[in-house]
Amino acid sequence: MDAQRTLRRPISCVGIGLHSGNKVQLSLKPAAADFGIRFRRTDLGDREVPATVQHLAGIQLATGLARNEVSVETVEHLLAALVSLNIDNVLVELNSPEVPIMDGSAAPFVYLIQEAGVKTLQARRKYLKIVRPIAISRGDKRIALYPSDHFKVTYSVSYDHPLLRHQSRTLRITEDSFIEDIAPARTFTFLKDVEMLRQNGLALGGSLENAIVLGETGVLNNALRFEDEFVRHKILDAVGDLALVGHPVIGHLVAHRAGHALHTEFAAKILEEVDSWQLLESLLPIEPRPLGVPATSPRLAN
């Protein structure tokens, strides 16, 4: 897991933008080592925006990026799938300002990545390893990163709603745990907010097909995918927003009542707190070897 990875072949899908309600074509294309994750607007002369905190744009209900008047919105579910499946380098093409919402989860993006396949590149991945705690709080919203041997997330939420008084979960994020436990968790919204969003021209593409909607006493959808689907989705959002630091993080992320605004403010703060982390390049050999290259036997120490 120490070599950089990209996709084996390009792959595309079509969905709708959550806010515009417009049809969007999304393509994921293989990219070279150290390319990173970049969005390209094919409807705007192929101009690009890298998926890094330096290009963070206005955060409303989702995370957006912008550079030179080229913007992309609702990037977080796709980013969460890419980084959790260890895809370091990929070109994301969109013919619209929004990443399609699909079913409101990251599962369709996991499926796309799996269908495209993964290719290992001959370059080492750099990890951002937390060595001292970093934390910020805004009122009762808090987010922090602590040193840990693995990337794990503890998230807790509490809302003024009978179904959501308190949910909390801790999970070590691996490719497998993300695919099983996090990727299928859908975004959620409160029915009382939907009308307000629509009046503001937002969530025009929103429906029970792509979000859990909470009425006064329960959910309007037929069924939840997990009993605690809400907090699992918050973990999904946090993983996607944290991807904007540009390297896989090794540390324990702890968040309480946070959201995109705090996640992304925190991602930017991490990069400023240079004494709190080290960029770690694994010293393990890169695997697998290209075809035809014989294995070298381990060298004996002199």
Q: What is the binding site for Zn ion (CB under 5 A)?
A: 187, 237
294 φψ region: left (φ > 0), alpha (ψ -120 to 50), beta (else): beta
The CA–CA distances, whole Å, from 291 to 2, 70, 296 equal: 19, 41, 14
Angle between helix axes 229-242 and 76-84 (nearest 10 degrees) is: 80
CB 62, min distance to Zn ion, A? 7
- CA torsion angle 43 46 52 56 (round to 10): -40
> Based on CB atoms, which residue is closest to Zn ion, 37 or 185?
185
Question: Cα dihedral sign for 191, 192, 193, 195?
Answer: positive
> Based on CB atoms, which residue is closest to Zn ion, 101 or 130?
101
How far is 125 from 121, CA to CA, in rounded Å?
10
263 part of the active site: no
DSSP string, 78-120: HHHHHHHTT---EEEEESSSB---TTSSSHHHHHHHHHH-EEE
Catalytic hit among 55, 233, 252, 260? 260
In the block, tokens 């919204």 appear at 189
CB 285, min distance to Zn ion, A? 37
CB 264, min distance to Zn ion, A? 13
> Based on CB atoms, which residue is closest to Zn ion, 93 or 237?
237
How far is 243 from 52, CA to CA, in rounded Å?
8
Residue 234: CA atoms inside 13 Å, Cβ hemisphere, count?
28
Tell me the three state secondary structure of residue 261: helix
> Based on CB atoms, which residue is closest to Zn ion, 35 or 190?
190
CB 47, min distance to Zn ion, A? 26
> Based on CB atoms, which residue is closest to Zn ion, 104 or 248?
104
How far is 114 from 144, CA to CA, in rounded Å?
32
CB 233, min distance to Zn ion, A? 6
Catalytic residues: 260
